[in-house]
Structure formats: structure tokens, C-alpha cells
Amino acid sequence: MTMTQTLPGTSTQAEVQQKGRIRGVLGMLWRDKFALAATIFLLVVIFCAVCGPMLMGDAALSQNLRGRNAPPFSIANGWFYVLGSDSLGRPLLPRVVVAAQNTMLIAAGAVLCSSIIGALLGLVAGYASSRVGNVILRLADVIMSFPSLLLAVVVLYILAPSVGNLVIVLAITRIPVYLRTTRAEVMEIRQRMFVEAAEVMGASPARIVFRHILPMVIPTLVTIATLDFAFVMLAESSLSFLGIGIQPPQITWGLMVSQGRQYLATAWWLAFWPGLAIILTTMSLNLLSNWMRIALDPTQRWRLEIGGKSNG
Amino acid sequence: MRKLILGRVLSSFFSLAALVVMVFFLSRLTGDPAALFLPREATQEMLDNFRRLHGLNDPLIVQFGRYVWDLLHLDFGQSLRQARPAIDVVFEGFAWTFQLAAITIALVSIAAIVIGSLAAFRPGGIFDRFASVVSLIGASAPDFWVAIVAIVVFAVNFAWLPTSGTGTVWHWILPVAVLFIRPFGLILQIVRGSMIQSFGSLYVKTARAKGVGNTSIIFVHTLRNAMLPVITVIGDQAAAMLNGAVIIETIFGFPGVGKLMIDSILQRDFNVVLAAIMVTALAIFVMNLLIDIAYAILDPRVRT
Amino acid sequence: MKRSLMLLGAALLSAVHLAMPASAQNASRDVTIVLGEGVDLMEPCMSTRSNIGRVLLQNINETLTEFDVVGDKGLMPRLAESWDQQNDNTWRFHLRKNVKFSNGSDFDAEDVKHSIDRAMSKDLSCETPRYFGSTKITATVVDPSTIDITAEPKQAILPLLMSIVTIVPSDTPVEFVRDPIGTGPYKMTAWNVGQNIVLERRGDYWGDAPQVEKATYVFRTDPAVAAAMVQTGEADIAPSISVTDATNAETDQAYPNSEVFYMRIDQGKPPLQDKRIREALNLAIDRQAFVGTLVPAETTLATAMVPPTTLGFNKDIKPWPFDPEKAKALVAEAKADGIAVDSKITLIGRSNLFPNVLEVMEAIQSMLTDVGLNVDLQMYEVAEFEDIYGKPFAEDRTAQLVAAQHDNARGDPVFSMFFKYHSNGPQSGFSDPKVDQMIEEATAATGEDRAKKWSELFAYLNNDVVADVLLFNQVSFARVNPRVAFKPTIATNSQLQLSQVGFK
Amino acid sequence: MAEHLLEVRNLSVQFHTAGGTVKAVSNISWYLDRGETLAILGESGSGKSVSASAIMNLIDMPPGEITNGQILFEGRDLLTMPIGKRRMINGKRIAMIFQDPLGHLNPVYTVGWQLVETMLVHGAGRDEAERRALELLKRVGLPSPEASMKKYPHQFSGGQRQRVMIAMALAMKPDIVIADEPTTALDVTVQAEVLSLLDELQKETGMGLLLITHDLGVVAEVADRVVVMNGGEIVETGTPSEVYHNPQHPYTKKLISAAPGRGAMHEPQGRGEALLRVSGMEKAYGAFKALDGVSFDLQPGETMAVVGESGSGKSTLARCLLRLEEADSGQALWKGRDLLSMSRKELFGLRRQIQMVFQDPTQSLNPRMSVYELISEAWVIHPEILPKARWRERVDELLAQVGLLPEHARRYPHQFSGGQRQRIAIARALALEPQLIICDEAVSALDVSIQAQVIALLDKLRRELKIAFIFIAHDLPVVRDFADHVMVMKSGKVVERGTARQIFESPRQDYTRRLLAAGLDPDPEVQQRRRLEREAIIA
């Protein structure tokens, strides 16, 4: 006997929804302060990614060998230098801002590609016959055992070095994770009664997969994707050294972190700020995905509508 | 169970074969090992000589045939760089990686499960929030940051531990600790989610009605039920670790298979690359099998 | 296979044993040396590779002659006590007597002959032949302590070349070995691949017994960790730490590492065939601004492909001044003459060439852009880089500036000049018959004449051809534990003689 | 005032939810004495389980909160007792049996382990606990108790699992056993067995039994006294007989009148052209024959009930007809065409004509789709039925037809009660304008009064729209009021087939008779008689 199921309180909920979707969503966001902070931070990042290169592109590239490794929290040289300067004397604040664009393009590109392809293959593997499913799973095994560096080198030799190819390499290596997770969930969800109900109505396999199964899988995929974001942002820099990724003077957070590595002992701020940006972005995405998991689920939504008390 | 194992062995064999074929041909698209092994100023004669010695002049398909033939005789070929059997090179590295992975994953599993379970007991509580934030920072912090800061703090400033290297148990502490952080964050999240779900299960009510205490409810009744998704993730993480932990190996001077693989790829030491991939793939396959068996042990419903 | 499995088992067990961390061997006569690059072979004929040479050269395996790059002693005897030229092609070497290999066998002329034959053998891929080029070498044993070595065609610096050939016993197989036997003051007693190599002092060495009794080599790719190891006393010498970590004047010493950092100009594509543009490239770079910022303060500006300690180094050549205005003017002038100065020039660098190579490349790119050139930066990993650096060049390339390092600590420019500047040189970016001729003449010359000819070549290349953008004579930093007396030199890049290590 | 074994005084519990605070129970009082059976009767949402949860300390706080009242056990107030002490009462002095034994038994431990644990928790030695566990399993009548100890919950049938639950509750010889809907999910025959087991055990141990149920029949069968609850309040108390024959409160009256099985039976019209003609249908899962030569006819607009215990093959029949599973052999002629051999494309057209209403509306409605989306999906799939412009209007119409309001279209399934959800499922089926609806246990999960409403709704639809029904049920009284024909199944075979009147009034087969006898009648006197009959059959 679940008590909440038939409580009369449900009627007020419907009213909440009638007030308009957007307001409802904003209201739910407002009540979960963590998610709110995360959203604001992400909006700032997106703003930086879109407008950063336009606003600060030049400042980010202005070298000054005599003012190199200037420590942070000093605005003697102007507020661009508030986070300090790097080993070429370029101000870090504009660099972090400008780097948001490439970082987001690559990370979002790679994560989107891998999650979409992985989820599609996983849906097929989970819903199609077991033979097809097995072939796809073995393919995932092969990709998983194939060293990503070798893949990168192969791509570098066969194709030309470019950002697009970097995204391809990063995406391919992450596909198995999504594929396996999706398949596992599909195997479970396809047993549910409402899938059968849809079948009885004559729904096509595509409709069942995309309309009924996929929405149930998405929250899990989003959670993995947010954690992958951090991974991709760091992995990207380790492939850049092969020459297939972003090349200076273009910049990403991952590249800034890895360039700042040798200065960790003498000028910690070089790697710290971009690292912090990566950490905060990951955390924000994770908090937001937790919030979305609840907000997207009609049966859980009430948790947000009564306030952030039990955001479990 | 026997059927499961047999089926897995068979299908993994095909995966492995596909992997070998792919790696063999793709890796040979990536340049000439002779140019890398010999100095820049090498004469054409030296280059030709090198290629002749290592059979690099033959058509690719002949090289492949020879490789497969040798492989059937359990000969994985010679390492170009080290002038000894590739498989010896790989086994040496793998032994280190395996130990590192085993120790780390064991500690991570224990810590993540205990802390994740406690966090899930009161979702949204202070402990839960704290654990979540710490684990998220851990999961997204650049690992070389953590590694170098750890060396500076624990080895240089406090001089509690050796900076790097191998030899004694003390040498293991820092690499294991740094390697620990990322999977810990990830597994903790999964444990927490799974445990929250299990706490809502009806059998928890039964246990309460029976008078079972909280500790037993968490760690005896709920945990085992919540372990299935957790085990999958632990398996994935362990698999990733068996592929080597390049940054840890590089910084701590740890002679594992990760750095070996990277070096071999960059130096086009194909035989070592292939042997390393086969060994790690095999290890991952065995581990996946163990995970399936663990599934069956944990959940009797899977057995039938 | 079976053996491999046993190895695996042994390695698994080895990690189980417990012990306290081995702290620095304070009062003892043992040293630990932390190197930046692992050793994958311990093959004497590969000791020209710096990672192998630092462990092996003159410690385990010795050579007939030894070149003093640091001082002015020139070519010194080692296993050969003296040598004289028999005719144009043949030199006679008189070998040291009462020398024993570490396996107990006596050293004689047969060993020398076998060592030379082995190093030049087609059944091995030794590095040695590259120093001889197309010269054919024949060794003839005269008596156990005398050997004639003949070069065809004649080779002016044959005794110097003998400082490259390491001597192994005559029963050494013609395949790569992993347990080198030599006449040197040390023998290898342990090699745990990836972890360490242990050398121990021999009691029966022919020369003076060095102070160090036992040397353990360990490998750390990360220079910060290497530096930390010396700081904590886990190691005694770290021959190459990063400049950013070299913060302690008491322990950290700079030394020239014999590497010259330069940019090769690709004259095969516009606009780089135009001399004015090449001059502009040289004038655009504020070399001095790098020194003490991105490169260590001890760095000197390069004026030749070889370090100043090399034969025939031309002290009259002055580094290019920084004059962006003149550079701009030259570019404008070239443009006015219809040169496609807007064509893209790709600046190509190698990842991890030295710790902050990326920043240096970025700074260079920015300086070149400032004078109005269209420069893109592209970094590559080593294999791809070598592909681009060496001939044949891709036909569809854009104009290229390849930033590379060249190391010649052998004392003679012959090991550099043909490769970098001769029309047939594999890394040469241009073709100039006069340069070809000058190189050929200098190679054949001997004595004072040789030095003069090289000097002239350096001046011609720098002033008339403007063949490349020479940047820096690089320096490295070594961190040395205060208990140890060791002074790093230009030789330290390729060898690290334990006999030169003492204690305070 | 005499001290009762257990007494609940003025208990009020509320829950904090999205829509504000909800009172689950307010100010309820009742008591239980040794050797007595008290039934709390109520429908879902009536708050009948809340006091039991409060006794066992199973209310999650927050969101729950006990605002008022006392729970006196042997005179001591449980609510003010320290947690540790309460835990020692749980399972030892007061034990509980839950409704759904599959969910309430831990799936990953053996039955023996779970039994033993109860005793270990309360201080028994392991050897003794194991010996006693074996005894208990024997006592509750589990076949081969030694083997059962080592088996897992999923390896038992529903009735056996409930016996395990009972054994577990009895482990410490408690003074009080609380049974929350102990037989709801069970077949009628099993239900009777479980109830008589509880009865016997009570006589043996002299424990007090608190039975929480929605079923008047269960009350009539076992209760000494009954408490009727509605909307969180007690509306009536008394002996079952008093309450049944002389209900005071309107709610009680309504509840009693809603009890199925007493209306007029259908008299089917003459037979015409069959809509569906099934012959020799077979389906096997390995060695187990789920369907073994099933044949029958169905007329347009006819309702045929299929009854039988679990495992009789009735659900398999439905699934095979809908091609959710493939039958091994046989024919099913739908308007003269064999639907078992239809191609995918033909099947698509068939989907419009044959629909299904599932047992559990919670699971058969996609939780992430609104009611509007759920109903209109039919037209997304079959766009020829209705132009998009008319969807809105038609959804409202359908909702009205099943007794819901137009504004419900925006809501999500979880915001409805079980009965409402089943109405939505029916509306969804109707959206396709089918000629046959197969209802698989479509009402068995619902409360009595809701059951009556849904059946009335189906009956109305049949009359108005001339839809034929195949109505699968394990509960005979429900079928009685609704079916034209009844088909009784056992082990994949048709045991008996006839009009409702034939089956209910003059059953020809023993099995049918036994099924009828096992059913519980809401009238305590009738039930008394029936029990004697049943015992006679068994004997």
C-alpha cells in the first residue's frame, strides 16, 4: 500500500501545471538552489563560449614576456589580469573565457556524438533480435579494447589533423559506455507492460523505441554524459599533443591545464583556473542532470514542487 | 553456467580476432618504425637493412600471415625496441598494472560502497551532500594535478612517503591514492542511486517489521540487492584500469602496461602493441566473466 | 610463453615483500641517478642514443679514443694508448695491455675487430654506421695489441670516429644484447626493466678506481618528480630537470646540453625562396627576450648548427639582431617585387621536444605574425614530425618552418653539416652547389685547414644563404644532491661517466 | 477500563506532500485482545494500513508525522518508547504479514536465511533458530521443508510465499500478528487455504490477529469484530454479522451493495456468425503446456469470461490472440481469416480491431505520458481514424465516456487512483474503435466499489458500442454479473464452457464446483455455510 499514490493532494498539482510550462519549470528550478546555481554558472559558461572570443579574443593573445606568470588577485595591470597571467604573459581571465568556446564545442560535440550513436546502437542491441544484439555488443568490446591513442594516431595518419577528427576520436572511444548502459536498460524496460500496450495498439518498433523506451533511458544517459564531460575535457588535451586537436593560439581548458602542469610548483594559477572551470562545469552539469532527472519524471516532479527538501 | 562460460569464450574469441586484425592493419598505416628506430641521419642502406631484418619489406598480407602463424604457435613476435619477446615485455608491465588495478579497485569498491550506502540512507542530508560534492570534485579534477600536489605535500614537505618508484609497500600508497579518486566518485554516485532505490523496496519494510537494526538493513538487506548496477560499473572501471593508468604510471615511474602501450604506439613497436592489446583484452574478458558470475552469486534470480 | 608466465608470477610476488622505503644512502658510496627517459636496450653499439649512453658509455663499455668536449684536450686515448696514420686510408691503433672485460676475458685486437664488424654489420641495426656514412671500414689485426683500421674512401677523422665505437668481447653474438660486457670500471648487476638498472664497481678495472661503488639508475618521465627525488634524498643526481623546477641555487646547475634549437627554412615553396623573407624571419624574432623567461638565463644565442665547443666554430658570426621594422620593410620590399608574402607558412613543432616547447612556439608564431607574415602553428608527435622533417617532402605542402633540435657533441661539424645543408642531406631545406662543395671540401680536410673550412661554411650559411633561423644553444639543468660532487657539462647529454662523480 | 493487549487511542497521522498536508488518519481508536481477530475494512486510501504502520514504526518521517494519539501495547505507549526497545518488540511480540510476499521477501536470500534471521535478531542461537525454522515451514504446510529452507523466494508460488511470510511472522511466537491484505493477490482456492491456516494458528497460539482487508468476504470468513474505515476515519464498528446485515453508515451500505455476484445474470441471445473462432490452439514453454487444444467461438457483442487459477493458461490465451506471443499450433479465425498466420502488415490493421486492457493500469500506462498523449497515441499510430484537429474533442468525449473529466487530459497517470487509471486504459482501448476488447484481470487489482463501477462501465460500452469482450478473471463473482458465457480453464485445457447461468447454477465439473466453493461470500452466514461445504468437498 503506497500512501502517496491516491492522496487527494494531486489535484493542486494539475493546477501548478496549468500555470504554464515555463513558469512551472522556473519555479521548480528556483526551489532547488543547487540546481539554480548550477544553471546560472552554465549560462555564464555558454555566454563565454558564444561571446568570449568576440569580447576578449585579442586580450587573450596579447603576449608580454616581461610580465609572465604574474600572480593572481592583482589588478595593477587592469582587471584582465585579476586571475594572473600565463608563461607568455597573457592574461588568464580572458584566456579562460575565450577557451570556453573550443572546450564546449569539443566536449559537447564528443559527448553528443558518442551518446547519440551509443544510445542508438544500444536501443537496437536491446530491442532487436539477440543475434544482432550480440554482434553489436562484441563491436563494443572491440572498441573498448582498442587503445584510444592508437585510434588517434590512425586517424591522424589517415585523415588530416582537425578539430572535427579530434571529436570523432573522442566520441568513438566513449561509445561503448552508452551502448552498454542503454542496452541494459532497454532489456529491462521492454518487458514492461506499457510497451506491450503500445504493441497491441500497433505501434511500430521505431515508435516503441523512441517514444516509449528512450525517454526512460535518457535520465541515466544524461548522468553518464555529465561525468563524461569532465573526462573528455581532460582527454582532449592529451590528444592535442599528437597534433590532431586544437592547435595554439587556439586554446581549450584542457590544454591550459596541461600547459600549466610544469608550473604547478612555481605558478599554480596557470593550471588552477582552467582546472577549476572544468570542475565547476562538471559539477554544475551533474547537479543539473540530477535535477532534470526529477523534473522530467512526472511521478517525481512533486519533490521539486514542494521545495528542495528531499532532492534525492 | 557452463553454457554461459562457453558462449562467452567463443564470442570473445571472435572479438579478439577482430581486434587483432584491425589493430594489425590499422597500426601499419601509421608510419614506418624504421625511421623512428634509427637516427635521423641514418643512411638509406641502414633503413633498408632494418626493414629487411624485421620483415617490413614484405607485402602487408604476407606479414599478417606470418604473424598469425607465429601466434598460433604462441609466438607474439619480438619487440623492436627491446629486442626480446613482446609477450615478456607485456607480461612484466601487465603484472604491475594488474596489481595496481586490483588493489585500487578493491579499496575503491569498499570505500564507495560504505560511504555511498551511508549517504543514501539520508538522501539530501549533510553527509550525503558532502560525499556528493567531494566525489564530484574527485571525478572531475585533473589527475596529474592531484598526483603532483600529492607528491609535493606528502613526499617533499612532510617526507612521509617516497615520491615515486617501486620497491616497498610505501611506494604504492600515493599511486593507489591518486588512482583511487576518479572511480571512487563515479562508483559512489552509482551506489548512492542504487541504494536509494533499494531503500524504497518492500523487503526493507519486512526487515523493519522483523526488528532488524539499521546497520543490518543497510549492509545486509539492501546492499546485496543494490549491488547489481554497482558491479557493472565497478567492472567498467576495472576494465579501464587494466588498460593501464598512463598518467599515474608516468608520474610515479610505475612500469605498467599503460605507459608501455603508449610508448609502443608512439614508437610503432607493433608486436608489443598487439601483445598488450591481446593481454589486456583477455584480462578484461575474464573480468567480465567474473562479473557475470558475481551477478549470479549475488542474485539467485539470475541463476535460473 | 611458459617463461613469460613465470615472469608474470615472479613479478606479482615481488611486489608483496615489505620493507621500509630505502632512504638516501647517506654515508655510503652508492649513488642513485634519476633519468628522464627509460632504457629499452642495453646494447653497446646503440650507446650513441643518449638514454643508453648515459648509463653505458665509458661506464660499462669503453671506446678506443675519447673526445674531450668540455676542455681543450681534444682527442684522448682510452683503450688505444696511441694511434698513427699509416697512409691516406689506414690508421694504426696501439692498444692498452692488461685490460680485462668484466666477464674475465682479456681485451685484445680481436675484440676491437669484432666490435667494429659487429657495429657495422647488416644483421644488426646499430646506430654506429650513420657516423661513417658511405665510408667502408676494414679492421686488420696486426698483433694482439695492434690493429689497423682502413677507411674507403679516406676518412680524415677516423680516430675521432673511433670514439663512437664501443668495444665488446669477441664472443659477443651479432644480435642485440641485454647484458652488456665491457672493459669499463663498472658492470651491470641488475636490470629490472622499467624500474632500475644497477651498476657496480669492478675490482679489476685497468684504470684508477672511481669513488662511486654502486650506481642505481631509475627513470622518471616527469621532470618535477625527478627534481623532487633529489630534494627528498631519494636520488643523488637528476641530470635533466625542468628549468621551472630549478629553483634551488645550491643544488641546481645549468649546463649547455649541446642541442641547438633552430628553424629550418623550406626554400622549396613561396615565399621562403626569397632571401629578404628569410632575413625578415631572422630579424623578427626577439631572441634575447626569450632568455631568462621562456628559456633559461644561461642559454646562449646560436650562430651555427653546432655548439661553440666544436671544431671550426666561427666566433665572428653575430646573432641576428631584433629589428621588426627592418623585417617589415623587407617583407614590404619583397611584396613590391611580386613575392607572395601572404602565402601561408606553417610553423611545425614537435610535442614534448623540451618542457615548454609549446609556449616557445607560440611566442615565435606571434613574433612572426607581427612583422606581417601569415604563420600557422602545428604541433606533431614524434613519428609524424620526423616524417615531415626528413626527405622526401610532401609535394602539396605549404611553406614550412620546422622547429627542431640538433645535437652534436662529437666535436666535429661533419656529423651535422651534410645532413642539414647539403643538397642531398636528408633534412636540408635548400640546394646550393657552393654549399655542397664547401661541405665536401671541409669533410676531406684535416688539421687547421679543416677548422678554417668549417668556419667559412658557417659564415656563408648565416650571411649569404640565410639557410635557417638559428635560435638557441640550449641548456639543461641538473639537480645534484649536496653530498655528491658532480659537475654537469656539455657531455652530460650523451654520457654520464660515474668516474667523474665524487663525494663531499 | 480493562487493559487491552493492544489499543490505539485517538491516533492522527498526516503526510506532507506536494499539495500540502494530507491527513492519513484522524483520531482513530480501536483495540485488540488476545485470541481475537479484528478486521479493519476499507478501500485504498481509506487509511486502513496507517495504524498498522504506526504500530510497527514503518511510517517514514518525514514526510509522515504522527500528530496525536497513543498506541498502547500491554499498557505501554509505543510512540514514546525508545527506538531500540521498539525494535525488540517488532517481530518478537508483534509481527506482520504483508500483502505482496514477492516484494516483501528479500529476493537475494534464501527463505531459510530470512526465517532464521528473525530469530537471531531477537537473540536465539543459530542451531535452535534453524531447527525452529524447519518446524515452522513444516507447520505452515510447505512441501519438503528441508529443501525449501535453501530455496529463494522466486522459486515458490504465490501461496507458498505467503505461507513463508506467515512462518516468519510466527517465528518468535508473537502476541499479535498483523496481516495486511494477506490474500489479495492469491487465487481463490489458495486464499481459502491461507485464511484457514491463519485461523488454525491463532487457535493454537492464542495470539491476537489484526487483519487489514478490502474484502468483505475475508471479513465474513475470519473476523470476530470489524472496524470499517473511510477517508481516514472509522465509520463503523461491530461484529461482521451486525455490520453486514445492519449497516449504519452510508459508506458501509455502499460498500456492501457494491459486492459483486448478486445482480441479474446475462441471458445470451441466439448464436449467429462468429466474430472469432478459435480451434485447437496450443502453446508450450518447454515441457510446460500453457495451452492444450483450446477451442471456442465468440459472437459480435458477446462477453465471454475465462476463469481459472494462475497457471491455467488464460493469460497465455490472450497473449496468443494478440500475437504478443506466437501459438505453436491451432487456428483463430477473425471474421474468417486466421489471425495467427497474418503478416506484419495485416496485423497492423488487426490492431485496430482487437484491443486489450491489462491487469495493472499502473504498469500499462507509460508514466511519462499525459492522459491526452496516452489516448491520442492511438491516432498517431492509426492516423486514418481521426484528423488531428478533432483529437482534443474526441479525447474529452472518451474521457466523459469512461467517467472522467476533460481537465484530466493534462495529468499524468500517477496522479490518478487505480480505478481512474483503469478507466484511462479503457478510454485508450476505445480510441481505436475496436470490435473486441480482451480484458486480462482488468478489475482484480481494484477496490470493490471501483470494481463494480468499472464493470458497469464495460457493460455499458458493450451495450452501446456492441463491442465483444473476452474477460479474463480469477474471481468468479465478478464474472457472474457481466459474462454471457463462461469458460473454465485448468492446466491449459478448457474444463467447462457454458452460459453464466449454467456455470454458476449447475456446474458439471468438480473443478468448477471447487472454484465456486472456494469463493468468499460477503454475508457471514452464507460464508459460514459455504465453509462447511468446502470442508466437505475436501474431505
Least confident of C14-18, C110-114, C165-169, C430-434: C14-18
Q: What is the pLDDT of residues A180-239, one digit of tens each?
A: 889 888 888 888 888 888 888 888 888 999 989 998 888 888 888 887 887 888 788 777
Left, alpha or beta for A138 (phi > 0: left; psi -120 to 50: alpha)? Answer: alpha
Question: C8, B43: Cβ pair inside 8 Å?
Answer: no
Distance between CA D167 and CA D475 in Å, rounded? 27
Nearest CA among D418, D446, D519 for reference residue D187: D519
Q: Are residues D99 and D205 in the same domain?
A: yes
Q: Give percent of chain D with pLDDT exceeding 90.
A: 9
Average confidence (pLDDT) over A43-68 = 82
Angle at the Cα of A106 (from C376 to B263), degrees rounded to 5?
75
**Cβ pair A307, D20 in contact under 8 A:** no
Distance between CA D428 and CA D423 in Å, rounded? 8
Round the CA-based radius of gyration of chain B to a whole number and report it.
24
Distance between CA C218 and CA C231 in Å, rounded? 15
- CB contact, 8 Å: B298 with chain D? yes
**Is A310 among the domain residues?**
no
Q: Taking CA atoms, what residue in C is nearest to B265? A: C383
Q: Taking CA atoms, what residue in B is nearest to C415? A: B41
- In the block, cell 623567461 appears at C293
Least confident of A293-302, B143-152, C212-221, C478-487: A293-302
**Is A8 among the domain residues?**
no
CA distances from B133 to A294, B129, B139, B140 (A): 19, 6, 10, 11
Distance between CA C99 and CA D202 in Å, rounded? 105
Contacts B100 to C, Cβ<8 Å: none
Nearest CA among C157, C465, C156 for reference residue C305: C465
Q: What is the pLDDT of residues D361-410, one digit of tens each?
A: 878 888 888 899 999 998 999 888 888 888 999 999 889 888 888 888 88
Amino acid at A147: P
Going by pLDDT thresholds of 50, 70 and 90, the confidence category of residue A93 is confident
Angle at the Cα of A68 (from A65 to A72), degrees rounded to 5?
155
Distance between CA B97 and CA B266 in Å, rounded? 20
Find out whether the peptide bond into D63 is cis, omega within 30 degrees of 0.
Answer: yes
Tell me: pLDDT of C464 over 80.
yes
Q: Are residues D250 and D335 in the same domain?
A: no
**Is A211 among the domain residues?**
yes
Average confidence (pLDDT) over B172-185 = 89
Average confidence (pLDDT) over C435-452 = 90
**Is A17 among the domain residues?**
no
Would you state the cell numbers that stand for residue D150, as one nine-digit string? 535453501
Domain coordinates in residue numbering, chain B:
2-72, 91-303
Please give the distance of CA B254 from its chain centroid, rounded to a whole number: 15
Q: Taking CA atoms, what residue in C is nearest to B97? A: C12
The tally of domains found in chain A comes to 1
Q: Say whether the D–C interface has 3 or more Cβ pairs within 8 Å.
A: no
Left, alpha or beta for A45 (phi > 0: left; psi -120 to 50: alpha)? Answer: alpha
Query: Rounded to 10 degrees, what is the CA torsion of A123, A126, A127, A128?
Result: 100
- CB contact, 8 Å: A102 with chain C? no
**Cβ pair B60, B28 in contact under 8 A:** yes
**Cβ pair B43, C133 in contact under 8 A:** yes
Q: Are residues D315 and D253 in the same domain?
A: no
Contacts B45 to C, Cβ<8 Å: 129
Q: Are residues D289 and D235 in the same domain?
A: no
Element (H, E) at D188: helix D188-205
Query: Rounded to 10 degrees, what is the CA torsion of C333, C339, C341, C345?
Result: -140
- Residue environment code for C203-213, b if the CB has 16+ CB neighbours within 10 A, otherwise e: eebbeeebbbb
Q: What is the pLDDT of residues C283-318, one digit of tens each?
A: 999 999 899 888 888 899 999 999 988 888 999 999
Nearby residues of D246 by Cβ (< 8 Å), 6 or more positions away: none
Question: B99, C12: Cβ pair inside 8 Å?
Answer: yes
The tally of domains found in chain D comes to 2
Question: A310, D22: Cβ pair inside 8 Å?
Answer: no
Query: Which architecture does CATH list for B91-303?
Result: Orthogonal Bundle (1.10)
Contacts A87 to C, Cβ<8 Å: 294, 356, 359
Would you state the cell numbers that stand for residue C121, as one nine-digit string? 654489420
**Is A266 among the domain residues?**
yes
Q: Are residues D249 and D289 in the same domain?
A: no
**Cβ pair A119, A182 in contact under 8 A:** yes
Q: What is the pLDDT of residues B38-66, one digit of tens each?
A: 888 888 888 888 888 888 888 889 999 99
Burial class (CB in 10 A: 0-12, 13-18, 19+), C5: exposed
Distance between CA B266 and CA B263 in Å, rounded? 5
Would you state the cell numbers that stand for residue C67, as one nine-digit string? 673526445
CA distances from C136 to B46, C131, D378, D414 (A): 13, 11, 89, 90
Mean pLDDT of chain A: 80
For residue D108, give the 3-state DSSP assignment.
coil
Question: B203, D106: Cβ pair inside 8 Å?
Answer: yes
The CATH number linked to D346 is: 3.40.50.300
Q: Are residues D244 and D284 in the same domain?
A: no
Q: Are residues D249 and D388 in the same domain?
A: no
DSSP C151: E
| Range of the structural domain that residue A194 is part of | 30-305
Distance between CA A175 and CA B221 in Å, rounded? 35
* Residue D106 or residue D17, greater confidence: D106
| Range of the structural domain that residue D305 is part of | 276-504
Q: CB count, 10 Å around CB of B304? A: 8
Amino acid at C395: E
Amino acid at D157: S
**Is D424 among the domain residues?**
yes
The CATH number linked to A161 is: 1.10.3720.10
| Extended beta strands in D224-357, E state | 225-230, 233-238, 276-285, 288-298, 303-307, 329-334, 337-338, 354-357
**Cβ pair D223, D37 in contact under 8 A:** yes
pLDDT at C348: 94
Please give the distance of CA C483 from its chain centroid, rounded to a whole number: 28
**Cβ pair A67, A77 in contact under 8 A:** yes
DSSP C184: S
Going by pLDDT thresholds of 50, 70 and 90, the confidence category of residue C143 is very high
**Cβ pair B89, C5 in contact under 8 A:** no
Tell me: pLDDT of A10 over 70.
no
**Is A12 among the domain residues?**
no
Strand C136-143 and strand C146-152: the pairing is: antiparallel
Nearest CA among C370, C345, C350 for reference residue C360: C350
Would you state the cell numbers that stand for residue C169, as one nine-digit string? 668481447
**Cβ pair C477, C252 in contact under 8 A:** yes
Would you state the cell numbers that stand for residue C133, as one nine-digit string? 656514412
Per the document, the length of chain A is 312
Last residue of a domain, one of D258, D287, D316: D258
pLDDT at A16: 44
- In the block, cell 454479473 appears at D481
Q: Taking CA atoms, what residue in D is nearest to A307? A: D18
For helices C414-421 and C433-444, angle between their N-to-C axes, nearest 10 degrees: 160
pLDDT at C21: 41
For residue C199, give the 3-state DSSP assignment.
strand
Distance between CA A120 and CA A122 in Å, rounded? 5
Q: Are residues D335 and D466 in the same domain?
A: yes
Q: Are residues D203 and D162 in the same domain?
A: yes
Tell me: pLDDT of C79 over 90.
yes
**Cβ pair A127, A217 in contact under 8 A:** no
Amino acid at D440: D
Phi/psi for D107 (5° steps) reads: -65, -20
Would you state the cell numbers that stand for residue B36, as one nine-digit string? 623512428
Nearby residues of C175 by Cβ (< 8 Å), 6 or more positions away: B83, C123, C124
In chain A, residues 224-243 whose CB comes closer than 8 Å to chain B:
227, 230, 234
Nearby residues of C66 by Cβ (< 8 Å), 6 or more positions away: C58, C75, C76, C77, C78, C163
Q: Establish, for the pair of chains A and B, how many residue pairs have beta carbons separated by less than 8 Å.
A: 111
Tell me: pLDDT of A11 over 50.
no
- CB contact, 8 Å: A108 with chain B? no
Contacts D22 to A, Cβ<8 Å: 7-9
Distance between CA C240 and CA C496 in Å, rounded? 12
Element (H, E) at D169: helix D158-170
Nearest CA among A141, A106, A57, A44 for reference residue A239: A106
Would you state the cell numbers that stand for residue B163, as one nine-digit string? 615520491
Q: Give percent of chain C with pLDDT exceeding 90.
A: 52
| Helix%, strand%, coil% for chain B, nearest 5 | 80, 0, 20
Q: Shortest Cα distance from B97 to chain D (angstroms)?
A: 34
DSSP C380: E
Distance between CA D340 and CA D282 in Å, rounded? 12
Find out whether the peptide bond into A161 is cis, omega within 30 degrees of 0.
Answer: no
Find out whether the peptide bond into C308 is cis, omega within 30 degrees of 0.
Answer: no
Would you state the cell numbers that stand for residue B44, as one nine-digit string? 638509406
Distance between CA D160 and CA D142 in Å, rounded? 7
DSSP state letters, D384-416: TS--GGGHHHHHHHHHHHTT--GGGGGS-GGGS
Going by pLDDT thresholds of 50, 70 and 90, the confidence category of residue C4 is low
Q: Taking CA atoms, what residue in A is nearest to B21? A: A142
Question: A283, B261: Cβ pair inside 8 Å?
Answer: no
User: Which residue from A65, A243, A262 is facing C379, i.e. has the nearest CB?
Assistant: A243
Tell me: pLDDT of A174 over 60.
yes
User: Which residue from C21, C229, C426 is facing B168, i.e. has the nearest CB?
Assistant: C21
